[in-house]
């Protein structure tokens, strides 16, 4: 919507994948959902242990911080905007909040409505805004 796709969006897109995979690894841990299967295979913690899984998740998340701004071409205001969007989408108003709701409302009828806009939705919203900012969207276009 902002313009033709350019190669500068590729590294930020990789960052979003790193964030997503990090969240899946954490979500599968025994202290969270204790998943037995992820995409038809045993989750990472079942194969390599909880400690290794947690370190992999943290490594992916940390790697995403630098990759997410790779397409900004040193536009300081875009770097700040993207980092702010990242913190908000992962943090206590986004994916972490969604995980808390998920953990403490298991079996509750209110769970789906409380999670609206959190977890995966927060990451999707971030990826859309990330692409737009990277491509030079102005405030009106970001709406």
DSSP 54-118: HHHHHHHHHHHHHHTTGGGTT-HHHHHHHHHHHHHHHSTTTHHHHHHHHHH-TT-TTHHHHTTTS
| Residue 143 covered by a domain | no
Distance CA 48, CA 135 (A): 39
Q: Is residue 142 part of a domain?
A: no
Is the residue at 127 inside a domain? yes
Is 40 part of any domain? yes
CB 87 within 8 A of CB 30: no
The answer as to whether 20 is a domain residue is yes
Q: Which structural domain range is residue 40 located in? A: 8-134
- What is the total count of domains within the chain? 1
Number of neighbours of residue 143 by Cβ within 10 angstroms: 7
Tens-binned pLDDT, residue by residue, of the chain (143 aa): 556 566 778 899 999 999 999 999 999 999 999 999 988 999 999 999 999 999 999 999 999 998 998 877 678 888 899 999 999 999 998 999 988 888 887 766 656 666 667 888 899 999 999 988 888 888 888 87
Q: Is residue 90 part of a domain?
A: yes
Report the CATH number that the domain containing residue 58 is assigned in CATH: 1.10.600.10
Classify residue 128: in a domain, yes or no: yes
Q: 1 lies in a domain?
A: no
Contact 117, 6 (CB under 8 A): no
């Amino acid at each position: 919507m902002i313009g033709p796709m350019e190669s500068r969006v590729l590294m930020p897109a990789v960052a979003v994948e790193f964030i997503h995979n990090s969240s899946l690894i954490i979500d599968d841990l025994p202290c969270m959902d204790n998943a037995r299967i992820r995409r038809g295979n045993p989750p990472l913690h079942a194969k390599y242990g909880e400690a290794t899984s947690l370190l992999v998740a943290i490594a992916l998340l940390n790697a995403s911080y630098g990759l997410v701004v790779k397409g900004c071409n040193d536009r300081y205001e875009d770097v700040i905007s993207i980092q702010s969007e990242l913190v908000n989408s992962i943090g206590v108003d986004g994916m972490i909040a969604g995980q808390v709701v998920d953990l403490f409302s298991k079996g509750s009828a209110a769970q789906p409505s409380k999670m609206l806009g959190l977890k995966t939705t927060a990451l999707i919203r971030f990826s859309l805004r990330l692409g737009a900012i990277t491509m030079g969207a102005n405030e009106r276009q970001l709406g």
